[in-house]
Amino acid sequence: MEPFERYRSIIDDFDVFLAACRRPLGNAVRINTIKASVERTLAALDEEGVGYEQADWNPRVLTLETDSPGSTWTSFHGFTHGQEEVSAVPAVVLDPQPGERVWDSCAAPGGKATQLAALMDDRGTVVANDNNLGRISALRFNAERLGATSLAVTNADARNYSLNRFDFDAFDRTLVDAPCSCEGTIRKNPDALDNWSEGHISSVAGIQKGIIRRAIQATREGGTVVYSTCTFAPEENEAVVQHALETESCRVVDFDLGLEHAPGLTEWDGEPYDDSLEKAARIYPHQNDTGGFFVAKLEVTAE
């Protein structure tokens, strides 16, 4: 937990935060409404004798009273998909509509991409891209298991992603759930900090800046880009969005979130950020008994 000391000044109830980080995480799943309604899924869990608790902010998110959520009847039939509660936030904030063209730029293993398809009633196009060929098979498997027929899979570097393969020239909405230092997954992966270094944060932030810029360029004027990470480091969060504000045509916009959260930072380590970054959300483990996450919503503006 030593690396987290650098965040003591920005996290309220820091010792409560640290204690939460040391507690293991419950087993959360998302109800896949492509295959079954919330009511039908809950009835199936009742019949199987699996206890559950619905998230207050999202009826499609459940915490299951089982150590193996992936071996339930509902999971086998694609009614549920194992997904950490805060991981369900970015797709909800992006709010894709049926019939739209949506890009998930860093999509494997597919939890958020299939969630986007479900939010769109599986109508429209979700382009699920990942640059890691080894993870593409998991992405495809999950898309098939969950019945997401609106989903197309591509294998490319999101930083210089080409739209030439499509018969359209921009997406309506884009999700950048960026590769990151994963500090917020500490409750799920106790070894998340084993290879932690400020050098790693710096190098991954460079990649993130390239991806968010391409996401904005590939999204139509008036369209939406959501940027998210599962880390606390401002260098990978506010600083990346700040870079986008300075280099691309976009603005940070408000969004409603039914989870307790802290606002984004407007300053870190002597570096000022745009005041609009307060509209971003920092979700800490001790606030809602979840993992940690950062989410910012951007609107693409005229050049």
Tell whether 106 is in a known binding site. yes
Q: Which residues of the chain have pLDDT under 70?
A: none
Is residue 109 marked as binding? yes
Residue 186 near residue 21 (C-beta atoms within 8 A): yes
CA distance 189 to 168: 40
- Spatial distance between the Cα atoms of 217 and 23, rounded to a whole number of angstroms: 40
What's the pLDDT at 1?
84
Cα–Cα distance for residue pair 261/303, rounded to 1 Å: 32
110 annotated to a ligand binding site: yes
What is the SS3 string spanning the chain?
Answer: CHHHHHHCCCCCCHHHHHHHHHCCCCEEEEECCCCCCHHHHHHHHHHHCCCEEEECCEEEEEEECCCCHHHCHHHHCCCEEECCHHHHHHHHHHCCCCCCEEEECCCCCCHHHHHHHHHCCCCCEEEEECCCHHHHHHHHHHHHHCCCCCEEEECCCHHHCCCCCCCCCCEEEEEEECCCCCHHHCCCCCCCCCCCCHHHHHHHHHHHHHHHHHHHHCEEEEEEEEEEECCCCHHHCHHHHHHHHHHCCEEEECCCCCCCCEECCCEECCEECCHHHHHCEEECHHHHCCCCEEEEEEEECCC
112 known member of a binding site: yes
Cα dihedral: 120, 121, 126, 128 (round 10): 110
67 annotated among ligand-binding-site residues: no
Is 270 marked as a binding-site residue?
no
Is 111 annotated to bind a ligand? Reply is yes
By CB neighbour count within 10 A (0-12 exposed, 13-18 middle, 19+ buried), where does 140 fall?
A: middle
Does 108 count as an annotated binding residue?
Answer: yes
pLDDT digits (tens, 9 = 90+) for 206-228: 999 999 999 999 999 999 999 99
Token pair in block for residue 144: 């098939």
User: Does pTM top 0.85 for this prediction?
Assistant: yes
Annotated catalytic residue, options 180, 182, 230, 250: 230
Please confirm, yes or no, whether 230 is among the known catalytic residues: yes
Residue 303 pLDDT:
83
- In the chain, what are the domains? 2-24+85-300 (3.40.50.150), 26-83 (3.30.70.1170)
